[in-house]
């Protein structure tokens, strides 16, 4: 607001609206609610397993039966969506990534378990090949190159298997060109017109993904980096072009990833397109905050909420965050 629109001091005392919790509540511009949260959950083989992820304090890999239980708690707290990420047995990882569209893979079994429970929660799945790829990449590797068009064919098969398992929201996170259009067409042709596509439209080649790759078992397998298909962290205009393209191809919602280092991109996407815009508070962001909280350097209750409010202030409609369950409990208590 231009300064000439504000009466000079003492007519204007901006501290007036901050003088009590009541007046602060009345004038608060943004709020965080449980309906803003998507909870990412890691799945592993076995029964009755909750296996800690060392680089993500407080996060575990869950067997399918435990994912079912966790989804029930999340639904009871009002969390609208859970997002599934599999820790695939290394023996099932191959160069052709065929496990990605196996109807009995971890993601599909967990989806069916949650849907069969009749819970009021949406199931979101991840479309990318890295959990199934012996090369650790999000796409197929041919002669040392992550190839685009053959990967898109594979991603279509993966997305269809997830839709058949009952996924409500499919999240292509691979960053291949043309995959949104190809997946949307396949969903229409195979009788899944109502499955939502939440495109990871602006996913950066970031250093903040390390703990996630530990959690899905992709760290040791990865050969090289992902800079040929994920975005250069220096670029902003390119993100807008990618969002525009994915919307034109049939994306219902878009994602910016990582989150906090790219709040400017979140804001620009929402301002320019006005579409449902999400951010992923990724594993590295989570791990940094948890490390500082556990060392007593930061007040956990304050910084977790503050970090999530930053996404809302930037224009995001929702946030994927590993803090989702804890935040939902706090919101319910308050």
The domain ranges of the chain are 32-333
Annotation says 203 is catalytic: yes
Q: What is the mean pLDDT of residues 106-134?
A: 95
Catalytic position from the list 66, 257, 270, 312 = 257
Q: What is the mean pLDDT of residues 211-235?
A: 84
Burial (CB < 10 A; 0-12, 13-18, 19+), residue 237, is exposed
296 vs 312: CA distance, rounded Å: 26
| pLDDT score, position 1 | 54
- Strand pairing partners for 182? none
Annotation says 93 is catalytic: no
Q: What is the mean pLDDT of residues 272-292?
A: 96
Using the predicted structure, report yes or no on whether residue 3 has a pLDDT greater than 80. no
Q: Which tokens is 321 given?
A: 């965050």
Catalytic position from the list 66, 93, 203, 226 = 203
Q: What is the CATH number of domain 32-333?
A: 3.20.20.70
Task: State the pLDDT confidence band at 219, using cuts at 50, 70 and 90.
Answer: low
- Which pLDDT tens digit goes with each residue over 16-51? 999 999 999 999 889 999 999 999 999 999 999 999
- Which pLDDT tens digit goes with each residue over 124-160? 999 999 999 998 899 999 999 999 999 999 999 999 9
- Which pLDDT tens digit goes with each residue over 159-192? 999 999 999 999 999 999 999 999 999 999 999 9
Q: What is the pTM of this model?
A: 0.93
Q: What ranges in the chain are assigned the alpha helix state H? A: 21-26, 64-77, 106-116, 149-165, 179-189, 210-215, 237-249, 263-273, 283-294, 300-314, 324-333
């Amino acid at each position: 607001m231009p300064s000439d629109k504000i009466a000079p001091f003492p007519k204007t005392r901006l501290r007036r609206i901050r003088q009590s919790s009541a007046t602060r509540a009345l004038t608060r511009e943004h709020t965080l609610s449980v309906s803003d949260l998507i909870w990412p959950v890691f799945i592993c083989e076995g029964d009755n397993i909750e296996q800690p992820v060392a680089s993500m304090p407080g996060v575990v890999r869950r067997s399918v039966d435990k994912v079912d239980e966790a989804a029930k708690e999340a639904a009871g707290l009002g969390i609208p969506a859970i997002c599934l990420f599999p820790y695939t047995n290394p023996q099932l990882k191959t160069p052709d990534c065929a496990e990605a569209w196996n109807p009995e893979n971890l993601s599909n079994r967990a989806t069916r378990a949650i849907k069969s429970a009749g819970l009021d929660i949406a199931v979101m799945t991840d479309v990318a090949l890295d959990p199934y790829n012996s090369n650790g990449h999000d796409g197929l590797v041919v002669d040392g190159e992550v190839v685009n068009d053959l990967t898109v064919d594979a991603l279509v098969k993966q997305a269809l298997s997830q839709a058949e398992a009952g996924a409500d929201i499919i999240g292509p996170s691979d960053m291949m060109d043309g995959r949104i259009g190809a997946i949307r067409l396949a969903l229409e042709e195979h009788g899944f017109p109502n499955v939502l596509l939440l495109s990871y439209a602006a996913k950066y080649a970031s250093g903040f993904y390390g703990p996630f790759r530990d959690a899905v078992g992709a760290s040791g397998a990865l050969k090289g980096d992902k800079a040929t298909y994920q975005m250069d962290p220096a670029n902003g205009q390119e993100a807008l072009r990618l969002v525009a393209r994915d919307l034109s191809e049939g994306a219902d919602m878009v994602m910016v990833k990582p989150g906090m280092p790219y709040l400017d991109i979140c804001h620009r996407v929402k301002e320019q397109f006005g579409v449902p815009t999400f951010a992923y508070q990724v594993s590295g962001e989570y791990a940094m905050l948890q490390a500082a909280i556990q060392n007593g350097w930061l007040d956990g209750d304050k910084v977790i909420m503050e970090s999530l409010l930053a996404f809302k202030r930037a224009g995001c409609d929702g946030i994927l965050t590993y803090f989702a369950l804890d935040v939902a409990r706090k919101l319910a208590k308050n």
